[in-house]
Chain A
């Protein structure tokens, strides 16, 4: 890598060839203010805040776009530069209606910070001359055009990162407006509420409804963790204040998702209206009564103790940590020798020995999406596909016509016609097969023709399905004849159908769950479980990566982390399986290798 030598403010700086002035300055610890620039987005030089003086150049240059060359001499805070930046800020502040006193973003606003930085105590142009609309039609966040500085970050995020292309810019100059699709209300547009635009907006133009006014960034705590709403395992941060969860933001440094999240992970968990189970419950005289943990676990242990291995049944939801699943397998499969153990969701078949990664999609030329609907179920994985399609990759969807990615596909096929897709993939340079549990046996056999040629990226349904399957918990559960049924439900949505399909009328049912559901109502013992924000542990994502989940707030009521409940139950049964998270985690990791 060639290094280029430049001079910034009299300081010698060396940076890789191809860097921009801004990148070189950042590396050297020299601060150049920016507004429309964002590390995750392509620089466009729209706001003109980052202008610097470059010796020999006719005008001031935007540091974010100008590539460095040998011997460049740059001044980043010369009087000319400061004057220009002040003018830009004067223009920005007077162009639209920036009222700091009641803005949700006040204190965390990049425009405000720039105003303070350059000592703007008044504006030289008339202010508040024209009103702009506020669009609050999206459920989770609103757009106040009065605060928009037309930096274009939202548009670049929607198009470049998420590849959804909902946001655009219409008209020119002072009449420019950010809009959705062909200027429709956001709530009726193709917006998928992934919140990427919200995350990059520098001002209060895009602001989250739920966490508005709940605290400035310095008053909050950010806890890095992994999302556990699907099997992709995006890195995110839970923002809390005083023991309350305010909002969720994507972790830009996360390896899997690079800062992007989707509606399912960013917003929905905070809008969950289901009732929590907060106390252990035991069915006494036909009614579920609150009891102590000791009493509840004792009741469970007694029933399990009296039963034979063939009378026991276990149903696990993959909304569980590695640690919980490890303990479940250890206790029921190994210690109690239960074979009637199954999962509440399907498992994708293994089509290749070589682990395909989501990153492989980025360098593909042909993508087959077979038997899964990532756009609906694992949206962040669909961003990979859409970005690749933007770049010229050909997408072939082998699924139903209702598949979310069908509109983006070069070709849509039924599972029976998968042969056509495989032929095309065989002729490709870097084909990728993105597949899920919907792959039929016939199709799976046909896809084996691509082994060695294509990268197979499994998109597991559920959440921690990889770990669950690896631990032997996918052994084919049969409901009839089960006398004692232990269900690890996690936060999974459980409806009447699941109950009628899986619960034998005579079974003694134990439900370890976070939320009230038809299954907890049917159960004889209910053990309250902590949810995603309330417990630590680890999850194995669909690529086989083990990622840490961290605890952000205390569990509701008497709920306990999923692994702790099973550990306590094991104790009652006289089997010491580990008491601390660290211990259990180490053993689980070892087992999953």
Chain B
């Protein structure tokens, strides 16, 4: 969502790139032939996240991890400090309004991992744009550098300093 903070610059961007998929469009997965750039956010909290990360790595030539969750683990990673079992118990049994309580274990769901990590622990990432939220200017810088063919990308300090 912070990607959209680039505001009107997205119009210029659309002249130069083709968006193939995103969670909010009808097409949700990058095509099998692969794409040039993939942008991935969110921490690796369950087995489903691992599948998504691996698929993105496979199908994207350049993988960018954006946001603190994808870079460091972020807020979801706070569950590491007490343990996944403890966290699940608190969420599904010890909540004030729960009667009975059951930890969801449908086979369709991803299984929660013991430790939440950033994306970098699971697949190789080419560029990290940290931030909570990450700066629009950082997105813009990364994409314009890529479009100009300049790799690897090193973010100038001003673009990921938040204080």
Binding site for B on A (CB under 8 A): 97, 99-101, 106-107, 112, 116-117, 119, 121-123, 126-131, 216
Contacts and interface: CB of A to CB of B under 8 A. Distances in A.
B132 A129 contact: no
Contacts of B116: 128
21 contacts: A106-B162, A112-B163, A116-B157, A117-B157, A119-B154, A119-B157, A121-B128, A121-B130, A122-B71, A122-B120, A122-B125, A122-B130, A126-B115, A127-B118, A128-B77, A128-B80, A128-B116, A129-B80, A130-B80, A131-B81, A131-B82
Given A122-B72, A122-B120, A129-B80, A101 B132 contact: yes
Contacts of B35: none
A126 B117 contact: yes
3 shortest A-B CB distances, which residue pairs?
A131-B81, A107-B163, A122-B128
A102 to B, nearest CB: 10
- For the residues of B in contact with A, the DSSP-based class is mixed
Given A100-B162, A122-B71, A128 B132 contact: no
B59 to A, nearest CB: 22
A121 B80 CA distance: 21
B53 interface: no
A193 B101 CA distance: 46
A380 B72 CA distance: 44
B93 interface: no
A130 B81 contact: yes
B96 to A, nearest CB: 24
A118 to B, nearest CB: 9
Contacts of A123: 72
A177 to B, nearest CB: 16
A99 B69 CA distance: 11
A216 B81 contact: no
B47 to A, nearest CB: 18
Contact of A127 (B77, B82, B161): B77
Nearest to A106: B163
Contacts of B80: 128-131
Contacts of A117: 157
A216 B163 CA distance: 9
Contacts of A112: 163
Contacts of B71: 121-122
Interface of B: 65, 68, 71-73, 77-78, 80-82, 115-118, 120-121, 125, 128-130, 132, 154-155, 157, 160-163
Nearest to B155: A121
Contacts of A99: 78
Given A127-B72, A129-B115, 18 more contacts: A97-B81, A99-B78, A100-B163, A106-B163, A119-B157, A121-B128, A122-B125, A122-B128, A122-B130, A126-B117, A128-B73, A128-B77, A128-B80, A128-B116, A130-B80, A131-B80, A131-B81, A216-B163
A504 to B, nearest CB: 61
A135 to B, nearest CB: 16
Nearest to A123: B72
Contacts of B132: 101
Given A127-B72, A128-B77, A128-B81, A121 B118 contact: no
Contacts of A101: 68, 132
Nearest to B83: A131
Contacts of A97: 81
Given A97-B81, A127-B73, A128-B77, A122 B118 contact: yes
A126 B81 contact: no
Task: Determine which residue in B72, B73, B78, B115 has the highest number of CB atoms from chain A within 10 A of its CB, and name it.
Answer: B72
Contacts of B81: 97, 128, 130-131
A216 B82 CA distance: 31
Q: Which of the listed residues A100, A126, A128 has the most CB atoms from chain B within 10 Å of its own CB?
A: A128
Interface centre among B115, B121, B162 (most CB of A within 10 A): B162
Contacts of B115: 126, 129
A152 to B, nearest CB: 24
Contacts of B160: 116, 121
Nearest to A101: B132
A129 B81 CA distance: 6
A561 to B, nearest CB: 38
Contacts of B77: 127-128
Contacts of B78: 99, 128
A270 B81 CA distance: 35
Contacts of B118: 122, 127
Nearest to A131: B81
A129 B72 CA distance: 11
Contacts of B121: 126
Contact of B129 (A121, A127, A128): A121
Nearest to B125: A122
Contacts of A130: 80-81
Nearest to B80: A128
A568 B23 CA distance: 75
Contacts of A100: 162-163
Contacts of B154: 119
A122 B160 CA distance: 11
A106 B132 CA distance: 13
A106 B82 CA distance: 24
